């Protein structure tokens, strides 16, 4: 979990998982672009709207726009070097 400026992991071995770290770094970039606190506000609002629509936690979570970008590009370790400003809006 990315809580700027910290990445929280359940297990220490996850710190060496480059895909996971890249996923969380994408969230850092999103958080910085939205000045941190508004990111959390929009994240939670988007989750609850999705939950009302899909009525399923997992589907609601994966449909959050911030998660869509992070999951789409977490395998691409060079993504952050070429990422557009507010890229989550262009998916």
Question: 85 — alpha (psi -120 to 50), left (phi > 0) or beta?
Answer: beta
Q: pLDDT band at residue 20, thresholds of 50, 70 and 90?
A: very high
CA 12 from centre of chain: 20
Amino acid 13: pLDDT? 95
DSSP three-state, residue 6:
strand
Q: pLDDT band at residue 76, thresholds of 50, 70 and 90?
A: very high
Angle ∠(52,56,4) on CA atoms, nearest 5 = 85
Amino acid 66: pLDDT? 98
Helix (H) or strand (E) segment spanning residue 15 = none
Considering the entire predicted model, what is its pTM?
0.95
């Amino acid at each position: 979990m990315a809580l700027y400026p910290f990445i929280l992991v359940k297990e220490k071995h996850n710190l060496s998982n480059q895909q996971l770290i890249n996923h969380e770094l994408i969230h850092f970039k999103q958080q910085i672009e939205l000045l941190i606190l508004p990111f959390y506000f929009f994240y939670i609002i988007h989750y609850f709207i999705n939950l009302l629509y899909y009525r399923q936690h997992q589907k609601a979570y994966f449909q959050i726009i911030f998660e869509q970008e992070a999951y789409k590009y977490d395998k691409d370790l060079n993504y952050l070097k070429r990422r557009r400003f507010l890229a989550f809006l262009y998916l």
